Each structure stands twice: as C-alpha cells, then as structure tokens.
Amino acid sequence: MTEQYPSPQEPDLNPERERSARDMATLVYLIQAIAIFTALPFFVAVIVNYVKRGDVRGTLAESHFRWQIRTFWYWLLWLVIGTITWWILIGMVILLINQVWLIYRVIRGWLALADNRPAYS
C-alpha cells in the first residue's frame, strides 16, 4: 500500500507533517549557506532534497525543495563552465557571478520559507 500525498492545490492539513517538512527545508537552507564557503556540503544538501522529496510532497516545503534542487544544478552547471573557462579569464567573472547568485537564492528562499510563502510566486 502506498501512502497518498495531497496534490499541490490541496494543502496538507497535518500540522506536524507541515512543521517537519519546514524544518527539513530550513536544514537544507542552512547546509546551502555553509556551502557558500566550501562546496562539499552542497552535495549533501541536494542528496537530502532527493531522499526527502516524497516526505514533503503536498506541503509548503515542496516548492522550497524544488527551489533548492534547481539552485544546486544551476550552480553546478555554472561552476563547471566557470572552471573550464578560467584560463581565458572569463571564468573568474562567471564564478564570481555564480557565487553572488547562490547567495541570493539561499537568502531569498530562506526568507520566503520564514514568511510561510512558497519559494515560487
């Protein structure tokens, strides 16, 4: 028997499940904030996102998990592009912009979660 999750249009009315999902999203934002200084925790954060994604389905945290996963993959893409182009000096600019963008995504997502808003408007 599989557990049924409410659809995104139909909010979860279980406050304990909602709180647990928000706590998990907060933990991932914290790990992502640490990853601003060293990249390794970012991989841990995205693994948590993928492992716990089913647990947050139908909660406010679902949009935050999607936001966090996309933040990781776009950050990684631009990290690779910036590293490959480092030798022509454009890579330094790409890496700097990527880092600023990462800081923006973590702060914006975390503030939206703190305000009980979905990550996407």
Question: DSSP assignment, residue 8?
Answer: T
**52 belongs to a structural domain:** yes
- Look at residue 13 in the predicted model and tell me its pLDDT: 62
Q: How many domains does the chain have?
A: 1
Domain range for 98 is: 15-114
**72 belongs to a structural domain:** yes
Range 32-50 average pLDDT: 94
Range 32-59 average pLDDT: 94
Pure H helices in the chain: 15-35, 40-56, 61-84, 90-114
Determine the distance from the C-alpha atom of residue 107 to the mean position of all C-alpha atoms in its chain, rounded to a whole number. 11
Question: DSSP assignment, residue 3?
Answer: P
Encode pLDDT of 68-121 as tens digits. 999 999 999 999 999 999 988 899 999 999 999 999 999 999 999 999 999 987
| Among 65, 64, 68, residue whose Cα is nearest residue 119 | 64
**70 belongs to a structural domain:** yes
Percentage of the residues of the chain whose pLDDT score is greater than 70: 89
C-alpha–C-alpha distance, residues 17 and 36, integer Å: 29
**8 belongs to a structural domain:** no
**2 belongs to a structural domain:** no
